Structure 1
């Protein structure tokens, strides 16, 4: 009995320890925290990766990075090429951000991301962003202030997500939209300035191809229309018709809450109408004209802001239709609720014919501590 118990205990211990066969020791790998993909003029793919290096003790820890770039036929081929010049095993298990050059984004990104979806060690929570021009140039900056370029882009994207300027999108969330029709995704769009890269809006995708952009002001309203209010959302609007640019002609609002109602109506089997009602409760965080304690003035202001945002919302729906970007999931809803209609549609063509009727209603519910 004693021998049987020892054998059972040994087998149990062997089963518990069997998961260590595929371990990757940190001393053997080089961590890639940001990677960029570009399409070269000759059709080749270029991968530019920033490799993190941590040295010193815990109290005097110093972080640095080295940038490696290579040109090849596929993403897997490039990984092998970079492996030959990096002193360690190329590892994307801690990847924070993947930057896509604009030329490659317009070509279609899924074939170049396929290797990341098949690798069980890939960081599927890595952020995706599109760069105006070349991703290589953005990564070659290496450092912005005291932050390494990977950390800088990661923090920059996260802060814009909290401000409802860009959507929360990563490798995992983008994948279903790239493989199916009826619900497209958008990603941060990064441009260059004299000092450092900046997020200037969002890149619109149809399946896996970039087809257009929205400015930061439009992207905020687009996300509200998509019912994706994050922690903060601020807008500055002109509410007076005066030609001068005096501060008294503007109001800055902070969106406290929203209610969105989206209704799809299909007529004659093909004519699709979408009514999108957006109700916003906002706080006036800057309004030099004041008088916000007067109900009549506040009501007039509510109407003015609502009309301006409705006008902008209609313009946004036209822009996303021109880009063939179904960011509100209209096609997905038709598939679910009108399956017979969906079978008769050719969505890339019929989406442009959808009639959008957006309406934004605004209520200023707070005006700060001033009376």
Structure 2
């Protein structure tokens, strides 16, 4: 009897351990580290991907990108076409960057990203960005040095995130906002010249549709207003009109600390008022006009900086409303704290009517080692 129980237990445990029937060997995969999605001239979806290939020689191992461009009815259809072009199975499990052409982004991006969300092997931590023109041109761009195109874009976006120029978003993080009627998201917007791409700022989305852009100086302030200071943040502003030398009209500063307060008040069903107060502690890292040890000069600078950034903050909120970009999640707050009001709102029509009262206060707390 005891022997029979032991045999049964061994067989049962063996059945649980036999889970390798669906294994996917890396040697059979063709790994795509970057993919670009565009709208083709005939209305189809164009996919451009750089597949990593490794070749060995006497001089060592060499990595290069094998680029494929196909057009199809959907993103999944394009994967099937690429599968027929490459020796091996196309895999997006190690994807680093997804680039979307601007024309396609302005039509809506959820349909083309749906395949990534439904595939359990997708790399949901892949960076996502909108590019000026087409992503095909960006991926086919010839860069100096030996850096892979996927590595270049990945580090370009990561660097901008660390400097508080673009939000730290990926494929997974944008999904809730894309489907939430009370919240919107922004992604990096990359412009390109004939020789190299650069981070212009951010692309503003309403739902899954790109509506407008903010240049880097404005995207930096938007992120501060959204309480999202990254590892570092610096800004150069023109605050003086007088002076013989142009350089003396500017000040450069690092953001040391910030404190953001935002209140949403609802009076009646459609009277929504938002108060946003941003307090910044900064370090002056360049001011050729000098005399920052003088309290009177320092007080005047604090006042000028506060007025200039307040003016910019008000312009940013106005542009956000014109683009129907609820980047502060005002709708989500109304939905949570004023549910009866939310039921009577058409947020697409009512969000541009929200009254914003934005104010920025700047205090220079350090000015380097010079007196």
TM-score by length of 2: 0.96
Q: Distance in 1 between matches of 2:47 and 2:244?
A: 49
Shift in CA distance, 62/328, structure 1 to aligned 2, threshold 3 Å: same
State the SS of the aligned residue for 2:60. coil
List gaps (5 residues or longer) in structure 2. Answer: none
Who is 1:8 aligned against?
9
Who is 1:347 aligned against?
347
Q: Distance in 2 between matches of 1:29 and 1:65?
A: 15
Q: Distance in 1 between matches of 2:30 and 2:170?
A: 22
Shift in CA distance, 244/88, structure 1 to aligned 2, threshold 3 Å: farther
Give runs of ≥4 in structure 1 deviating > 3 Å: 1-7
Who is 2:210 aligned against?
210
Who is 1:67 aligned against?
67
Who is 1:319 aligned against?
319
Q: Which region of structure 1 is more displaced relative to structure 2, 149-158 or 170-179?
A: 170-179
Q: Distance in 1 between matches of 2:34 and 2:319?
A: 31
Conserved in 2, the CA contact under 8 Å of 1:201 and 1:213? yes
Give, in angstroms, the shift of residue 265 of structure 1.
Answer: 1.3
1:265 pairs with 2:265: yes
Who is 2:100 aligned against?
100
State the SS of the aligned residue for 1:188. strand
What are the superposed Cα offsets for residues 29-85 of structure 1, whole Å, 9 maximum, x if unpaired? Answer: 100000001011211110000000123389932211110010110111110011110
Matches within 5 A, 1:108-119: 108-119=108-119
Q: Distance in 1 between matches of 2:68 and 2:331?
A: 42
Conserved in 2, the CA contact under 8 Å of 1:278 and 1:361? yes
Matches within 5 A, 1:4-43: 4-18=5-19, 20-43=20-43
Q: Distance in 2 between matches of 1:194 and 1:133?
A: 12
Conserved in 1, the CA contact under 8 Å of 2:165 and 2:216? yes
Q: How many residues align?
A: 370
Q: Distance in 1 between matches of 2:346 and 2:42?
A: 34
Conserved in 1, the CA contact under 8 Å of 2:331 and 2:347? yes
Conserved in 2, the CA contact under 8 Å of 1:67 and 1:142? no
List gaps (5 residues or longer) in structure 1. Answer: none
TM-score by length of 1: 0.96
